[in-house]
Amino acid sequence: MAKEDDLDLDVEGATPKKSGKSKFILIGVAVVLLLGVSVTATLFLTGMLGGDEAVAEEGAAGDAKAGAKGKKKAVKKVKAPLNYVPLDPPFVVNFADDSEARFLQVTVELGTRDTDVIDQIKEHRPAIRNNLVMLFSSQDPVSLNTREGKEKLRSDTLAEVQKVLKAETGKAGVEAVFFTSFVMQ
């Protein structure tokens, strides 16, 4: 009988041990789930999970709160990528002066961040090319031998392109001009 009582005790003693293990497992699973939710929420709120929209909304909400408190909070604006539009074929113009350089060949690419402007550049390419041919042919070859002369020509080229686009479409649209080839002979 003593053995039977011992057996009953072991069986009864085993049941509480199983119940304690299952409670421990349930608590462990709950802790892991809570940690997962916490990490996910942290990543979402910091903008690492959820993309740029979450950051933009958080930044806008932060600006509203900062404005109400009189504090200024800087929000970083993300620029669109620069699209390059080549003005093919390259420009070839003669110089009027009797200098060593008799002609200029220059390859031009325009830079814009607005994708609608790409189509406008292509549509108004003849007017743009006309103005640039006139600009390039009126240059002094001696001044174009210096970096400053080339930079001035680049800024004048940008102004001409913007002038044409502004006249035809109402907005300049192009923010940069690049000379990808520049040959004088």
pLDDT of residue 46: 72
Which among 16, 47, 69 is the end of a domain?
A: 69
d(CA 171, CA 162): 8
One-character DSSP codes across 107-152: EEEEEES-HHHHHHHHHTHHHHHHHHHHHHHTS-TTGGGSHHHHHH
Cβ-in-10-Å burial (0-12, 13-18, 19+) of 50 comes to middle
In a domain, 74, yes or no: no
Whether the Cβ atoms of residue 82 and residue 178 lie closer than 8 Å to each other: no
Residue 160's closest CA among 117, 130, 122, 116?
130
CATH number at 156 reads 3.30.479.30
Task: For the chain, list residues with pLDDT below 70.
Answer: 1-19, 43-44, 47-76, 97-99
Tens digits of residue pLDDT in 46-84: 766 665 544 444 454 445 444 544 445 555 677 889 999
- Number of domain units in the chain: 2
d(CA 101, CA 166): 34
pLDDT of residue 8: 47
In a domain, 75, yes or no: no
